Chain A
């Protein structure tokens, strides 16, 4: 083990352990996913240091590239802000869990530290034909059957994912005509025929979060995107209008000195 590898390990390993604690404490699932990506890239670097460059590359491609992106997609489907409740349903579960995990870590590490391993052989000889070729020779000679089975597992997993997420259509499809008919039918109950109004356009502010004004000058709440309203991120129209009035006053005060400029010259 070269000193360079030592330095790499002792820089990377504490960082990985530290970041992995993010899995335990981070409130939002997205932050957990980011912590996980960091730890997995750390694993890839360690694989390359352990004379397994092929596995290092596969780790980045499969885990950080595919698996974590799949996780992020599911988080997006489920809703990024779906944070878990912190109420304990089983009494004392937190402490029991912490104690069990600590005990597991201490026992495993203790056993490993106390064991005397034979001096490491290293993979220089096995990797003499380059690591991927060496791997392929082992894979295709000793593990052919396992590889075939893994292929079946992969196909089964792909098909099962399709079957599990497939949603059967229970109602007839709603086309343009059906939507129009439903809108007309809803008119007596206070429905609307026209599309929703666009968000407000003001002199100083035309962002998505400000409501438009109707002909009477009242703000239209529906003109702000539904998501912003649920999150409580819309802005009140009165604030914007007050800002506008302030703008009018300021421009009039700026305009005045220009009007009175000849007077000043006369003085």
Chain B
């Protein structure tokens, strides 16, 4: 029973998420890239759990999901706070500390 291709899929999706974080300018889309990376690692956890016949992988994936949900709530709240102050969701416009 070979499960390598699941791990390869998770690697590909992780890199797509990383590319989204690097390339996109809209903070909300960048955030969705982070979510894609978290999901990809979850897939790897579940696959390795099945590979070793251990449920711990699924438990860790479950924790990742919970923490990701909390992270989304806080992150979106920050994005809304920035949008209220600066009328923009572009990550380039948050440069008050630069000048």
Q: Which residues of A contact B (CB under 8 A)?
A: 1, 9, 13, 16-17, 20-21, 23-24, 29, 32-33, 36, 39-40, 43, 46-47, 50-52, 54-55, 58-59, 62-63, 66-67, 70-71, 74-75, 77-78, 82-86, 89, 93-94, 96-98, 100-102, 104-105, 108-109, 112-113, 115, 117-123, 125-127, 131, 134-135, 138-139, 142-143, 146, 150, 153-154, 156-158, 160-161, 164-165, 167
Given contacts A36-B35, A135-B59, contact A126 B67 (CB under 8 A): no
Asked whether B33 lies within 8 Å of A23 as measured between CB atoms, the reply is yes
Least Cβ–Cβ distance between A51 and chain B, in angstroms:
6
CB contact between A51 and one of B50, B79, B84 (< 8 Å): that residue: B50
Known: A118-B51, A119-B1, A121-B52. A67 touches B69 (CB 8 A): yes
| Most chain A beta carbons < 10 A, residue from B8, B49, B55, B83 | B55
The contact string, 1 if C-beta is below 8 Å from chain A, for chain B 1-25, is 1111111110111111111101111
Question: What's the dominant secondary structure at chain A's contact region?
Answer: helix
Question: A17–B6 Cα gap in the complex (Å)?
Answer: 12
Does B50 contact A143, Cβ atoms closer than 8 Å?
A: no
* Bound-state Cα–Cα, A62 to B68, Å: 10
A20 and B13 form a contact (CB under 8 A): yes
**What residues of B have a CB within 8 angstroms of the CB of A13 in the complex?**
5, 9
CA distance A58 to B14 in the complex (A): 20
Q: A101 to B16, Cβ gap below 8 A?
A: yes
Q: Are A108 and B14 in contact (CB under 8 A)?
A: yes
Nearest neighbor of B95 in chain A, beta-carbon distance: A89
Question: When A84-B26, A98-B19 are in contact, do A74 and B79 touch as well, CB less than 8 Å?
Answer: yes
Which one of B17, B53, B79 contacts A123 once the chains associate, using CB atoms below 8 Å? Answer: B53
Q: B46 to A113, Cβ gap below 8 A?
A: no
Residue of B nearest to A105 (CB): B15
**Residues on B close to A: CB < 8 A?**
1-9, 11-20, 22-26, 28-29, 31-33, 35-36, 39, 42-43, 46-47, 49-56, 58-59, 61-63, 65-74, 76-81, 83-84, 89-90, 92
Q: How far is the CB of B6 from chain A (nearest CB, A)?
A: 7
Known: A78-B28, A165-B81. 9 other contacts (CB 8 A): A20-B16, A24-B23, A33-B32, A84-B25, A113-B4, A120-B2, A143-B59, A157-B70, A160-B77
Evaluate contact between B74 and A157: CB separation under 8 angstroms: yes
Q: Is the CB of A46 within 8 A of B70?
A: no
Cα A113 to Cα B11 with chains together (Å): 11
- Find out whether the CB atom of B62 lies under 8 angstroms from the CB atom of A55: yes
Given the complex of chains A and B, what is the CA–CA distance between A113 and B33 in angstroms? 24
Collect the chain A residues with CB atoms within 8 Å of residue B7's CB. Answer: 112
